[in-house]
C-alpha cells in the first residue's frame, strides 16, 4: 500500500484490507461476470469510495471504454445515480442471452 502505484492511494478501502490482514485474500482475473439482465455494473458500491466498472461477461475489451466514460461522468457528478442505467441498485429483469 505504500507504493505510489498502489490502489490504496486512491481507494482507502484497500489500505484497510491490508492493515487488517485478518484473512487471506487475493485478486483473480479472467472470470466472467454476468448479471440477470446481461448489462454491466457501473457506479458506487456499498463500500465507501469503491466504484466498479464490471460485469461485461467477456465483452469488456469492447464495452469497457464506454463504461469508463460513463463512470467518469458519475464521478464528476454529470450523471446522477438515478440517471445511470447500470447502477448496482437497479431492478434486474432477467432476459435470455442466446449465443447464435
DSSP 13-67: HHHHHHHH--S------S-----TTS--EEEE-SSTT-EEEE--TT-HHHHHHHH
pLDDT band, residue 3 (cuts 50/70/90): confident
pLDDT band, residue 100 (cuts 50/70/90): very low
Residue 29 has pLDDT above 70, yes or no: no
What is the end-to-end Cα distance of the chain in Å, rounded? 45
pLDDT digit string, tens, across residues 70-84: 999 999 999 998 999
Amino acid at each position: 500500500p505504500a507504493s505510489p502505484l498502489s490502489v490504496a492511494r486512491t481507494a482507502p478501502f484497500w489500505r484497510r484490507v491490508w492493515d487488517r490482514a485478518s484473512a487471506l485474500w487475493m485478486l483473480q482475473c479472467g472470470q466472467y461476470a454476468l448479471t440477470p439482465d446481461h448489462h454491466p455494473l457501473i457506479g458506487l458500491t456499498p463500500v465507501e469510495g469503491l466504484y466498479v466498472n464490471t460485469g461485461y461477461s467477456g465483452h469488456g475489451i469492447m464495452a469497457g471504454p464506454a463504461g469508463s466514460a460513463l463512470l467518469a461522468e458519475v464521478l464528476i457528478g454529470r450523471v446522477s445515480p438515478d440517471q445511470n442505467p447500470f447502477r448496482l441498485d437497479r431492478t434486474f429483469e432477467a432476459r435470455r442471452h442466446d449465443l447464435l
